[in-house]
Structure 1
Amino acid sequence: MDDEEARARLLDAAEALFYADGIQAVGMDRIRAESGVPLKRLYRIFPAKEALLTAYLERRDRRWLTSLRAATAGAPDPIAAVFDWLAGWFAEPGFRGCAFMNAYGELATGPAGVLDVVRRHKAELRALLAELAGPDDDLADQLLILVEGATAVAALDPGPAPAHRAGAAAAVLAATSRRSAGT
């Protein structure tokens, strides 16, 4: 196994374990065991748990936002497509809410590098929603609140219903925004 394969295996194990069980509950030895990567190589690739956690969140950010962008690209109603995509995500087996908010909740006073990734993810999500909302900055902020709120509610009671309810509210807000803009 080369370092690239070892890195991928470590990130796969970290993602599965951190998301399912929480960051504090998962030690490096457990990640080593799950990944099959020797401990010496693990620490050569990721010298500290913070480095592994940061890499896991950065990879998840890229995949998550790429998937959401793909779901909205070319959609007749891209705002509705956001909430349809969320409904599918919320219904996935093992859904445990937002990995970024979960990390923030566990490490709110924790490593600055990890918290920077969380903040950057939320800023990128807000930027994507702003692209979809058009010139109405208030609508982008409102959509972000709906996305985050639906995700929090779905973490407590998984399933598509929170996304559908938030999507209905988003449709009303978008229609109001269009009327206000005169379009």
Structure 2
Amino acid sequence: MNSSEARSRIVATADALYYSRGIQAVGMDELRTAAGVSLKKLYAEFPSKGSIVMAVLERRHQAWEDGLDARVRQAPTPRLRLLAIFDYLCQWFGEDTFRGCGFINTFAELGAISPEVAAYAREHKAAFQHYVARLAEEAGAPAHLAPQLSILAEGAQTTAAIAGSADAALQARSAAEVLIDAALSSRAPAAG
């Protein structure tokens, strides 16, 4: 197994273990065994557990952006692209492996002791807000809509993780429809 394969396997295995059980609950020896690599290879690829955590967060960030954007691009109109965010959440929340937002979970577990984790979690959330802002702008909505929709999406992630149900995505989508329609109607030219 070459370095790239080993690295990918370690990150994928760490991602699954950390997401299902928590980062601090998974030791390096357990990770090594589950990934099928030697301890020497594990440390050759990642000099510390912190470096593995950061690689997992980078992987999750890319998967989030790719999955969300693929779903959004399928929507035929700017309004439906905004609502597709919540359709994506509904699909994700329905997965058997869903345990909430990996960034929120990691921030809750390590944010107070790892400035690097805290900073990356903030960057991830800011990137999402910028993405929503771009979609809102393309829809012709006022700037205040994007943070409102972002908060709905973030709240839905936390609620779904705690409740163990995808219902939060449907409820957030309904609220988003109200907010989007109100925002777009406020921008409509006055009849005269």
Q: Would the TM-score normalized by the shorter structure come out above 0.5?
A: yes
Q: What is the aligned partner in structure 1 of residue 174 from structure 2?
A: 168
Q: What is the aligned partner in structure 1 of residue 31 from structure 2?
A: 31
Largest Rg, 1 or 2: 2
Q: Secondary structure at the match of 1:82?
A: helix
CA contact (8 A) 1:87 1:159 kept: no
* Letter of the 1:83 counterpart: F
Q: What is the aligned partner in structure 2 of residue 67 from structure 1?
A: 67
* Letter of the 1:155 counterpart: A
CA contact (8 A) 1:90 1:159 kept: yes
Q: What is the aligned partner in structure 2 of residue 108 from structure 1?
A: 111
Q: What is the aligned partner in structure 2 of residue 22 from structure 1?
A: 22
CA distance in 2, matches of 1:94, 1:19: 9
Distance apart, 1:115 and its partner CA:
1.7
Aligned CA RMSD, in angstroms, stands at 1.1
Q: Secondary structure at the match of 2:144?
A: helix
- Stretches of structure 2 that go unaligned for 5 or more consecutive residues are none
**Greater shift after overlay, 5-14 or 135-144?**
135-144
Q: Secondary structure at the match of 1:37?
A: coil
Distance apart, 1:21 and its partner CA:
0.2
CA contact (8 A) 1:133 1:140 kept: yes
- Aligned residue pairs, count: 183
Ranges of 4+ aligned residues in structure 1 off by more than 2 Å: none
**Identical-pair percentage:** 43
Distance apart, 1:113 and its partner CA:
1.7
Q: What is the aligned partner in structure 2 of residue 138 from structure 1?
A: 144
CA distance in 2, matches of 1:87, 1:158: 12
TM-score normalised according to structure 2 size: 0.92
CA distance in 2, matches of 1:41, 1:141: 43
* Letter of the 1:113 counterpart: E
CA contact (8 A) 1:154 1:162 kept: yes
For the pair 1:85 / 2:88, whether they are aligned, the reply is yes
Q: What is the aligned partner in structure 1 of residue 54 from structure 2?
A: 54
CA distance in 1, matches of 2:44, 2:30: 16
TM-score normalised according to structure 1 size: 0.96
* Letter of the 2:106 counterpart: A
CA contact (8 A) 2:111 2:117 kept: no
* Letter of the 1:88 counterpart: Q
Distance apart, 1:74 and its partner CA:
4.3
Superposed CA deviations along residues 13-35 of structure 1, whole A, max 9, x for unmatched, are 10000000001111111110100
- Stretches of structure 1 that go unaligned for 5 or more consecutive residues are none
Q: Secondary structure at the match of 2:26?
A: coil
Distance apart, 1:117 and its partner CA:
1.5
CA distance in 1, matches of 2:97, 2:59: 19
CA distance in 1, matches of 2:84, 2:116: 32
